[in-house]
Amino acid sequence: MTEPVLPEGRGELSYAVVRALRGGPGRPLPTPQDQDLVQRATPYGEDLQLALYLCYELHYRGFSGVDPAWEWDSGLLGLRGAMERRFLATLRADAHRHASVDDALQEILVEPVKPSGISEFLKGEGKLWQLREYAAQRSLYHLKEADPHAWVIPRLRGRAKAAMAAVEFDEFGAGRAERVHALLYAKLMADLGLDTTYGRYLDAACAEMLMSVNLMSLFGLHRSLRGALVGHFAAVEVTSSAGARRMAQAMQRAGAGPAAVHFYTEHVRADAVHEQIVRRDVIGGLLEEDPGLEGDVTFGIDATGWAEDRLGARLLTAWRQGLSSLRTPLS
């Protein structure tokens, strides 16, 4: 299995993490007490989001040439904790909009009369180069699509655990390696002439894309945020089917190839079923066991939509000006 290459830093925090990871565990790092450094970093900016992504990736595949012992290095975990607290506090202040799970779900269950956003833009007027950029950006998410959600399974009980495992089983191909959704996405990338190497487009991805991936890693790695991870999972499954239908149409219109179309048509079918299971059994089962987690589930739904809206705004602003959404445009 090929490990991704360490990217270049984008500011004080991420440079410090990259420098440390290039050496052995125990190398000097900014400490949690260095509040100045963490406070200077914009919570949603390139520097902090890349630094967090680097810390989180050690729990997935790691990086080429980086000692696996860094995963549990106390100094790095301390720095990560300081960054997480800043990110999470700002996110709670900005993204939490609904008073209940029902209110949050009701808003995303109803398809707008005039849909807007990335998938609608790409369906109606997206060009092939924009589809390729979107696929490159989203590869940071889709090549690990179901992995962080799996962390919540041992933290659930009864009906919620059984339902969550059932949906994840589908995400991982229902026992068939060729149907694992991450592999289907790699085939989509190949259809678009993109490099399918895991982590290949990390250096090119924008801060908003890093934040979208960091959100599910943050929720997944903390047992105290298990409700928020369930909310994140619900938001993804509930909104996926309609968006995937538009993306399939976009890929067909642009002549992207059968594997690119298939990835999205697969999600139209699968996520229409998953949505019902997640709402009824995962959320319902969790809140039946622990009703005190409703606020966290609601926050998870809200934060997911808020992060995706920021990503959409970043990409559409660039594309409508005829500019690349990537830090380094594709060749």
> Which CATH number characterizes residue 203's domain?
1.20.910.10
Tell me which residue of 44, 51, 60 sits closest to 21, measured CA to CA: 51
> In this structure, are 156 and 63 located in the same domain?
no
> In this structure, are 199 and 297 located in the same domain?
yes
> In this structure, are 202 and 130 located in the same domain?
yes
Q: According to the model, what pLDDT value does residue 268 have? A: 80
> In this structure, are 86 and 113 located in the same domain?
no
> In this structure, are 118 and 139 located in the same domain?
yes
> In this structure, are 103 and 78 located in the same domain?
no
Regions of the chain where pLDDT drops below 70? 1, 31-35, 112-116, 270-272
Q: What is the distance between the alpha carbons of residues 9 and 20, in angstroms, rounded to a whole number?
A: 11
Is 104 within 8 Å of 294 (Cβ atoms)?
Answer: no
> In this structure, are 231 and 166 located in the same domain?
yes
> In this structure, are 177 and 215 located in the same domain?
yes
Q: According to the model, what pLDDT value does residue 124 have? A: 93
Q: According to the model, what pLDDT value does residue 114 have? A: 66
Domain boundary among the residues 66, 94, 122 is at: 94
Q: Would residue 203 count as lying in a domain?
A: yes
Q: According to the model, what pLDDT value does residue 5 have? A: 94
Q: According to the model, what pLDDT value does residue 167 have? A: 92
Q: Could you report the per-residue pLDDT of 212-271, keeping only the tens digit for each?
A: 999 999 999 999 999 999 999 999 988 888 889 999 999 999 989 999 999 999 888 766
Q: According to the model, what pLDDT value does residue 112 have? A: 65
Q: According to the model, what pLDDT value does residue 113 have? A: 53
Q: What is the distance between the alpha carbons of residues 31 and 64, in angstroms, rounded to a whole number?
A: 25
The pTM of the full predicted model, rounded to 2 decimals, is 0.94
Q: Would residue 199 count as lying in a domain?
A: yes
Please give the residue range of the domain that contains residue 46. 12-94
Q: What is the distance between the alpha carbons of residues 156 and 104, in angstroms, rounded to a whole number?
A: 22
> In this structure, are 18 and 62 located in the same domain?
yes
Domain boundary among the residues 94, 118, 152 is at: 94
> In this structure, are 86 and 116 located in the same domain?
no
User: Length of the chain in residues, anyone?
Assistant: 331
Q: How far is CA 119 from the centre of its chain?
A: 17
> In this structure, are 278 and 211 located in the same domain?
yes
> In this structure, are 74 and 180 located in the same domain?
no
Tokens of 86: 């800043």
Helix, coil or strand: residue 289 = helix
Tell me which residue of 32, 36, 21, 15 sits closest to 83, measured CA to CA: 32
The DSSP result for 109-169, as a single string, is HSPPSS--SHHHHHHHH--HHHHHHHHHHHHHHHTTTTHHHHTTGGG--HHHHHHHHHHHH
The domain tally of the chain equals: 2
